[in-house]
Structure 1
Amino acid sequence: MQPGDNDRVRAKTLTIEAFADTIIPGEKRSPEDRAVAGAAAGGGAVAAGAMELLEQPGGGLAPTLEALALGLNAHAEQYADEQGVTLDGDVPAFVALPFAHRTALVQRLTAPDHPEKPMWVGLALFSNMAFDSAAHMNTVEAFASTHPGLIAIGYFRPNAEGLFEFDEFSYGRPLSPIHPHTTPMGDPA
């Protein structure tokens, strides 16, 4: 690592986490937590693993996260100047914004007429995905770790064997008779 790399990584992480927390708010991880504003009870996008999902290479955003954080902080500085908000220089500009101002800025950046809308909406979608589906985790492991999104949404939990099986038909009755040659695993004979 080069000198200053830790500061850049910290600024990127704090900023992206603050953005994810603005999309799906949660409670602070500790009293010193600056990225998570604590605007909602329970775990939000950050606790659900938004940063872990965004850093995976398969999503395509990992190489852009530092640039996105820099851009978001530039927008936050401009927004703070416009709104007369004094920013704490100990954290990146977006992180320093009060939650209501973070929300207003994200609304501006994701508005239909904003020229950068696609990249901010993409970042928001991944934040949602981490919460709504635990896309970066095995679903059984997500339940074992009490993933806040899956629990809040009410996903059906796996059984003791780790399988997602339903004891009852979703419509309360079978929709058609099972073919007599269907195997016990449900495959056609």
Structure 2
Amino acid sequence: MPTVDRRAILKALTASVAVLAAGGLTATPAAAAADVSEGWTTQTLGAFADTLIPGEHRFSGDQVCAGAVTGPGAVQAGVIDVMNSPELPLAPLLPEIAALLDARAVAYAAVRLIWLSPSRPPFVGLSFAHRTNLVSGLFGSGDIDEPVWQVMSLIVGIAFDTAGQSDTTAALAQGHPGLTWLRFPKPDPDGLWRFGDFSYDRPLAALHPATTPSGSPA
């Protein structure tokens, strides 16, 4: 396994999640972009994201997206663009993170006598079933790198489920694959979301008379 600075990786990952959660990125990723010349780091991390939130093949012969489902996944939703955003501190450490995962893939394949093609990253060379089995073992087992994969999975979820890399209104207008697939509701004409129907069809509490116009307590 490669020697890596796990402390630096975790600091960068945590900072990245904080920026995304705060809506700190301004550009919407090119979610539909797909290029057969993707580098090994991009391929490995894309395959990791596709294992967590799988999507269909982006093009004929796509090896990164295993095509395990119909519809868009994390890769189509722009997760790689999120990871490489210049507004996050993560990009310089992505090769190390990918190397960690590829090292695990080599060990996994060796134990199971799985042949891996030298023409693509080891993790990408695994079938979707084996990718899923390997990734599942990275969580909840006390693995030394478990915190890395936990935070990486958060980034994958943020990219697909919330379009955290972009303004939500702009992401919806541009047809963000994740939000569109999840049927995320569009805002009112003024760009705000309002929910006219109460849960259980009744308000749970009366509005306090001192509540400010913004909804905050006085």
TM-score by length of 1: 0.81
Q: Residues of 1 paired with 2:199 and 2:141: CA distance? A: 39
Aligned residue in 1 for 2:139 = 110
Q: Residues of 2 paired with 1:34 and 1:160: CA distance? A: 41
Aligned residue in 1 for 2:81 = 52
Which amino acid in structure 1 is aligned with residue 114 of structure 2? Answer: V
1:19 aligns with 2:30: no
Shift of 1:92: 0.6
State the secondary structure of the residue aligned to 1:88.
coil
State the secondary structure of the residue aligned to 1:111.
coil
The more displaced of 138-147 and 37-46 is 138-147
State the secondary structure of the residue aligned to 1:154.
coil
Q: Residues of 2 paired with 1:111 and 1:63: CA distance? A: 27
1:124 aligns with 2:153: yes
Aligned residue in 2 for 1:3 = none
1:176 aligns with 2:176: no
Q: Residues of 2 paired with 1:117 and 1:125: CA distance? A: 13
Q: Residues of 1 paired with 2:131 and 2:211: CA distance? A: 59
1:100 aligns with 2:100: no
Alignment of 1:1-189 (within 5 A): 10-56=39-85, 59-169=88-198, 172=201, 175-176=205-206
Which amino acid in structure 1 is aligned with residue 155 of structure 2? Answer: F
Which amino acid in structure 2 is aligned with residue 96 of structure 1? Answer: G
1:117–1:182: structure 2 CA closer, same or farther, 3 Å change rule?
A: closer
Which amino acid in structure 2 is aligned with residue 131 of structure 1? Answer: F
Shift of 1:71: 1.3
Q: Residues of 1 paired with 2:210 and 2:160: CA distance? A: 41
Which amino acid in structure 2 is aligned with residue 125 of structure 1? Answer: L
1:59–1:121: structure 2 CA closer, same or farther, 3 Å change rule?
A: farther
Shift of 1:123: 1.1
Q: Deviations over 1:48-100 (max 9, x none)?
A: 11112222355543332110111111111111111111112221111111111
The more displaced of 167-176 and 150-159 is 167-176
- Structure 1 gap ranges (5+): 1-8
Larger RCO (CA under 8 A, 6+ residues apart):
2
Identity %: 40
Which amino acid in structure 2 is aligned with residue 176 of structure 1? Answer: A
1:178–1:151: structure 2 CA closer, same or farther, 3 Å change rule?
A: farther
The more displaced of 51-60 and 78-87 is 51-60
Larger radius of gyration: 1
Q: CA RMSD in A?
A: 2.7
TM-score by length of 2: 0.72
